[in-house]
Amino acid sequence: MIKEYQAFLEAFKAGKSIKNAAQVKNYTIFGNNIGLLLIALATISQGLGFHIPISDDDMLSVGKGLGSLYLLVNAVTHVVTSEKVGIK
């Protein structure tokens, strides 16, 4: 378990990256597109009169949580999939 943890931390160093960086970037792009599609569908459905039975406060809470999670995952993905970016 220690070796895996050390390898994980090694990916954060400048000049290093994970072996399957292109695949991870493709997964990130796919996740971004799914999120965009869900937001577009929710917006279009509200515009057409189909209201989602969730209060505005609950929607804001979920949006803040998902936004924070997205920013964290995006930052980590950017660092571990690029040899030019990282901790020196």
Is the residue at 41 inside a domain?
yes
Is the residue at 85 inside a domain?
no
- Number of domains observed in the structure of the chain: 1
* Tokens encoding 58: 């609950």
Is the residue at 86 inside a domain?
no
Is the residue at 73 inside a domain?
yes
> pTM of the full predicted structure?
0.65
Is the residue at 87 inside a domain?
no
Give the Cα separation of 79 and 88 in Å (integer).
12
Is the residue at 76 inside a domain?
yes
Domain of residue 49 covers 2-80
Instruction: Note the pLDDT tens digit of each residue in 55-65.
Output: 878 888 988 99
DSSP-assigned letters across all residues of 10-64: HTTBTT---TTHHHHHHHHHHHHHHHHHHHHHHHHHHHTT---S--HHHHHHHHH
**Averaged confidence pLDDT in the chain:** 83
Cα four-point dihedral sign 45, 49, 54, 59: positive
Q: Which residue has the higher pLDDT, 37 or 43?
A: 37
pLDDT average, residue stretch 27-56: 86
Is the residue at 66 inside a domain?
yes
In the chain, the largest separation of any two C-alpha atoms, in whole Å, equals 54
